[in-house]
């Protein structure tokens, strides 16, 4: 009797837990990447309870996805990672009947994300941007003169410049898949190369400036640049623009500027997708549809200073977003931007090992 009772209670507990689960939508997105008012708005409009977690590296997200049972309904990997995760069977195909706003997507961006997710079967574009150079204008011109190459990779890959800049602090992203293509682009090699001989050519460039890099980190530079703790960051466009905005709000006399390197910059795409084992696919589709709403997407871009893949949102964007070539590059700059594809396991190991060697000297 006692046994049966426990059984019943257990079953009831499991059932309620599942019912409770179904009302939640769990979203795993990049840090500092949304207007948080949108999160409450989503809850009010749909009645779902939104659980919103953040990460700052594609690698962490991928490990969670490949381990299975991540428990998230919506995740936001970048294009190259998405492509590999689709192959691994990590996502479920989107159900078009549950998405009303797909018509808002921007064909220019879709044409480019086609490489990663043919036909957009598994993902929608959230935002996109470039990887480039953020500077504290006053400090850099003070150290390097008025004609400091703030829009060129020379600034961060020429040891002569870096030696001087070390004094005021330089941060690089801790993401080999962003830095190594840039170094290859700098020396005129194919940034998307998977050939070990070509990849190896990036190493001396990065090792030469290693002593002058204060830190390799993928999110700290936002506040460090805004506070004036560092004067140069090689990072993501919107992050640096956020830091420009924070400095401006704090009125601390720090003037931050972002430039996509004139040699060509990496263009990347963050895609929203639904894990194959998502506990609440219906809720996930509701979130995707909510994000694709022109008004919501515009609010997100106006807040985080990243361009989005939503053409309908463009009339609603503020002038300092849509009109800023650092966010929406002009046609000429767009020409110089390049994209990359995922490394296979062998090249990945080669790149990670090289990265460890560059950072630690071993």
Q: Min. distance of Cβ 325 from other proteins in angstroms?
A: 33
Q: Is 194 one of the binding residues for other proteins (CB under 8 A)? A: no
Q: Considering only 129-137, 146-154, 208-216, 244-252, which stretch makes contact with other proteins by CB under 8 A?
A: 208-216
Which of 31, 46, 57, 115 binds other proteins (CB under 8 A)? It is 57
Please pick, from the candidates 215, 262, 282, 338, the single residue that binds other proteins as defined by CB under 8 A: 215
Closest CA relative to residue 285, chosen from 100, 64, 63: 100
Distance CA 146, CA 258 (A): 16
Our finding on whether 234 is near other proteins (CB under 8 A) is: no
Question: What are the backbone dihedrals phi and psi of residue 186, each rounded to the nearest 5 degrees, phi first?
Answer: -60, -40
Q: Is residue 348 involved in binding other proteins (CB under 8 A)?
A: yes
Q: Is-contact 124 102, C-beta < 8 A?
A: yes
Q: What is the smallest separation between the CB atom of 172 and other proteins, expressed in angstroms?
A: 10
Q: What b/e string do you get for 247-263 counting C-beta neighbours within 10 Å, with b at 16 or more? A: beeeeeebebbbbbbeb
* 108-147 binders of other proteins (CB under 8 A): none
Whether the CB-CB separation of 60 and 79 falls below 8 Å is answered with no
Q: Provide the H-helix boundaries in 33-136.
A: 37-46, 58-67, 79-87, 107-113
Q: Which stretch binds other proteins (CB under 8 A): 5-13, 146-154, 190-198, 349-357?
A: 349-357
Q: Based on CB atoms, which residue is closest to other proteins, 58 or 308?
A: 58
What DSSP character marks residue 337? Answer: -
DSSP assignment of 66-79 equals HHS----SEE--BH
356 binds other proteins (CB under 8 A): yes
Identify the H or E element spanning 130: strand 123-136
Residue 170 C-alpha from the chain's centroid: 20
Among 8, 12, 88, 96, binds other proteins (CB under 8 A): 88
Least distance CB 199 / other proteins (angstroms): 15
359 binds other proteins (CB under 8 A): yes
What residue ranges bind other proteins (CB under 8 A)?
Answer: 57, 59-60, 62-63, 65-68, 84, 87-90, 176, 214-216, 276, 345, 348-349, 352-353, 355-357, 359-362
């Amino acid at each position: 009797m006692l046994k049966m009772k426990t059984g019943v209670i257990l079953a009831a507990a499991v059932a309620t837990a599942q019912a409770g689960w179904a009302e939640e939508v769990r979203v795993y997105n990049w840090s500092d990447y949304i207007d948080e008012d949108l999160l409450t708005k989503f809850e009010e409009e749909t009645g779902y309870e939104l659980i919103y977690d953040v990460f700052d590296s594609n690698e962490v997200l991928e490990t969670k996805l490949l381990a299975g049972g991540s428990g998230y309904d919506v995740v936001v990997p970048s294009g190259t990672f998405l492509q590999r995760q689709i192959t691994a069977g990590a996502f479920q195909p989107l159900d078009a009947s549950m998405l009303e706003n797909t018509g808002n997507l921007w064909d220019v961006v879709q044409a480019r994300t086609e490489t990663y997710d043919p036909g957009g079967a598994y993902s929608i574009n959230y935002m996109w941007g470039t990887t480039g150079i953020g500077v504290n204008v006053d400090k850099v011109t003070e150290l390097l003169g008025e004609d400091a190459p703030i829009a060129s990779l020379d600034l961060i890959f020429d040891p002569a410049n870096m030696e001087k800049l070390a004094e005021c602090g330089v941060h690089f992203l801790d993401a080999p898949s962003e830095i190594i293509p840039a170094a290859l682009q700098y020396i005129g090699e194919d940034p998307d190369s998977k050939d070990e001989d070509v990849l190896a050519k990036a190493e001396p460039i990065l090792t030469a400036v290693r002593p002058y890099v204060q830190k390799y980190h993928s999110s700290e530079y936002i506040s460090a640049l805004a506070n004036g703790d560092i004067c140069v960051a090689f990072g993501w466009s919107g992050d640096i623009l956020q830091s420009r905005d924070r400095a401006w709000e704090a009125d601390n006399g720090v003037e931050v500027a972002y430039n996509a390197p004139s040699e060509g910059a990496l263009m990347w795409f963050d895609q929203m997708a639904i894990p194959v084992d998502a506990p609440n696919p219906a809720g996930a589709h509701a979130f995707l549809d909510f994000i694709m709403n022109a008004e919501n997407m515009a609010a997100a871009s106006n807040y985080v200073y990243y361009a989005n893949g939503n053409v309908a949102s463009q009339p609603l964007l503020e002038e300092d977003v849509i009109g800023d070539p650092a966010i929406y590059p002009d046609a000429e700059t767009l020409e110089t931007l390049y994209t990359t594809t995922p490394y296979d396991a062998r090249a990945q190991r080669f790149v990670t090992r090289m990265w460890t060697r560059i950072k630690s000297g071993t």
